[in-house]
Structure 1
């Protein structure tokens, strides 16, 4: 009896988690696993790249969880620097190209995993491909940026975009001793927050010496005679730059899937069922997908959304590997939890923003409180702002955003659990959270916000 063949496209979190889990469940005699990765690295923490660039992580290899050699030793035929350039779902095969030699070949599959990740948004602007302009998505990208920083003629950096990638790279460049300007299309940084909470991030970053420029649309990357970046130009101003980092966000990398006719959602990501199997007859019931190339179900709004996070990718891989390997697992959805930091400021959110609730047709109330991360009298107590959204009449928790200093970000996990459980804000006020003066006031800031949200719900009748 011939072994089935599993082909995996993509050698990072989702792809190699799927391959590894499938291998745990089925031996090489039962399941042959072939994986393709176009880059130089596998199974690495893309989320750690800003901290490697910023110097908090000393060596690139510290971000690598498992090398190609380790995967091969576990019975996975991993082909590095090999890009899949065509997907033929009717004949169940993929065409790959060796990026070193240019040689191409077809590989048939019985089961397929698409884990092609996401690509940085790179607007079509004059000078966008100039030397010194960097997107940051892979370890190769991080290495290229570090090489530029070491060779840059000056110490002026411009970050375009102020989402998670943008603020984290701003911190990295500050840590490298650069004079940093962040140019953002929106009025406030962190569009994943409501504007009033984004304003707190804006003020804190300005206080750290970062120049924040809002409501600014970049029109050109200006270069010198040597072809290197010299400035970022907007409609109203010009900002000198020796290096430019693009932090505009990412989009699902679904070029192969689109060409193969596989179903995509409104955000351009692949659509799957709860087992992470790609929907539709085109996939033939033997194609799975996970990681940054898929859309996920939002448990709060009931809609599909695209969220590029390593936590989701690894979970997707585990689910896919279990199902491909003959077991059973599901990924029911997300509530949209994310945390970040810029220098000493911690930023967190989960659930819906106001505009998300509006888009979903939900009626809601908001409550914002200012508190501290510790008892006010305890040394090191620092301010924290918590904003909470709750559904009118029912009081169901819809979302939480937190901006503050040490200890602020991970408090959002309490809200993430409450959202997943479908709790009301009134029910939250009775949560038995840990208390001691070094860790929290008697009333934790999340519970204070919940109490205020309860009052707002009651006031609406």
Structure 2
């Protein structure tokens, strides 16, 4: 007998395929047919690994794929790659697809369109990189880096550039996580790298005083960071390839350009179908990741808004960690179980050169926007006991609510051993601890790992003192 229900998934990366795998664990093929559509050739891959592939630190693209389409099919999920969903018919419970080439990803042939019905639908359409509508911004050699296909295209451009005489120039536009990671990758390949950003300091996911530490580290690697500089266009040659990136005040030579201007939720299909979107353009869901107002549609990953547990406000936080958790929740619920995703505290880590960068909770501007009154403190400590070989400095900045002392946010910049310390703060934020309570946390200590007062706890002590000094007003 055919399965009694069909689950259709739009998008074959983290959220979509985690949902597929979880639903299959809970219900067998005789109970639930699972069909997943992916417009690219790959499934379940790590986009976060692309900069390290570009720098040749790791191999790719296969090494970045956690589970291939063939492996998903072997586990009972009908994955159809190079097949794009182009329309949602919610009243009719069906999706229209356009397929090109064979399902093994070889491509070729004419596009074919068809309708597929569903009983339950999952939207995991991800996010699309921001490509500004400026002269030359869509020229060959100007790359966004969002998918493995994007990584392959960039590497083809780099191979062509590297056939030319040196010096080779690269311009990265945007100094967020992807921007600084790509700048490092290109520097490691021997390019003269310039990073352009409109902000006063790189890494606007940090407060400006912490971003300045990142800028200093990039300068130490020979990366030229130009702040307060927005791109106005890309100058191209007769061959249509980049020659320079233009700003209002300057011209920066470029053989290749990488755009790291962030992403927006890919909700074109959802918007056309009338599904509810938030201020960021992300889909609105309930705690079970079900799209609001629908009983048969779920959404997760980079196409949704999530609740910030610290500010209490929704926002777009495109991270693979969240996407995989969304998928687990969706797969459970779509298979008839029960699970929830309560929200996030905004934890993220990165690295440029040997500098580790971490944040969780709110920045100063976010805390003000949420109407919170707060104190801020910073400490510079060491990763190990000061006398122990290899001890390196790190700076920890902490925000605490003025009246209650509740922890609001932590930022850490330092060398080896700095970034993952933010996890302690992430747990404290989730538990709604005060900075005073944090000072009593029983963290591990030995000279090779930490001073007697771990840097995070040292920052908490200073923040607790600042809260007491500020008083109830």
State how far apart, in whole Å, the 1-side matches of 2:283 and 2:340 are.
Answer: 16
Alignment partner, residue 438 of structure 1: 448
Whole-Å separation in 1 of the counterparts to 2:450 and 2:318? 31
Q: Secondary structure at the match of 2:356?
A: strand
Summarize the alignment of residues 120-269 of structure 1 with structure 2, pairs less than 5 Å apart.
Answer: 120-152=129-161, 153=164, 154=166, 155-269=168-282
List gaps (5 residues or longer) in structure 2: 102-109
**Structure 2 Cα separation of the partners of residues 68 and 191 of structure 1:** 37
1:36-55 equivalences under 5 Å are 36-55=37-56
Equivalent in 330, 336, 345 of residue 355 of structure 2: 345
State the distance in 2 between where 1:10 and 1:29 align. 23
Structure 1 residue corresponding to 2:389, chosen from 376, 379, 404: 379
The structure 1 segments of at least 4 consecutive aligned residues displaced by more than 6 Å after TM superposition are none
In structure 1, C-alpha distance between the alignment counterparts of 2:261 and 2:242, rounded to whole Å: 18
Query: 1:328 Cα deviation (Å)?
Result: 1.1
Which residue pairs with 1:279 in the alignment? 292
Which residue of 1 is the match for residue 313 of structure 2? 303
Q: Is this contact kept in 2: 1:3–1:28, CA < 8 A?
A: no
Residue 87 of structure 1 is matched in structure 2 by: 88
- For residue 399 of structure 1, the aligned residue among 380, 393, 409 is 409
SS of the equivalent of 2:285 reads: coil
Give the Cα separation in 2 of the matches to 1:354 and 1:91: 47
Q: Structure 1: how far apart are the matches of 2:215 and 2:201?
A: 6
2:460 is paired with a residue whose SS is helix
Shift of 1:47: 0.7
Partner of 1:416: 426
Q: TM-score, normalised by structure 2?
A: 0.96
Superposition TM-score, scaled by structure 1 size: 0.98
Q: Displacement, 1:129?
A: 1.2
| Structure 1 position 9, deviation (Å) | 0.1
5+ long unaligned stretches in structure 1? none
How far did residue 438 of structure 1 move? 1.2
* Paired residues, number: 458
Q: For 1:92 and 1:348, how far apart are their aligned partners in 2?
A: 43
CA-CA distance at 1:99 after TM superposition? 2.8
Map of 1:328 onto structure 2: 338
Q: Tell whether the 8 Å contact from 2:8 to 2:34 is kept in structure 1 after alignment.
A: yes
Alpha-carbon deviation of 1:141?
0.3
Cα root mean square deviation, aligned: 0.9
2:128 corresponds, among 113, 116, 119, to 119
Distance 2:238 2:200 in 1: 33
- What is the distance in 2 between the residues matched to 1:175 and 1:223? 25
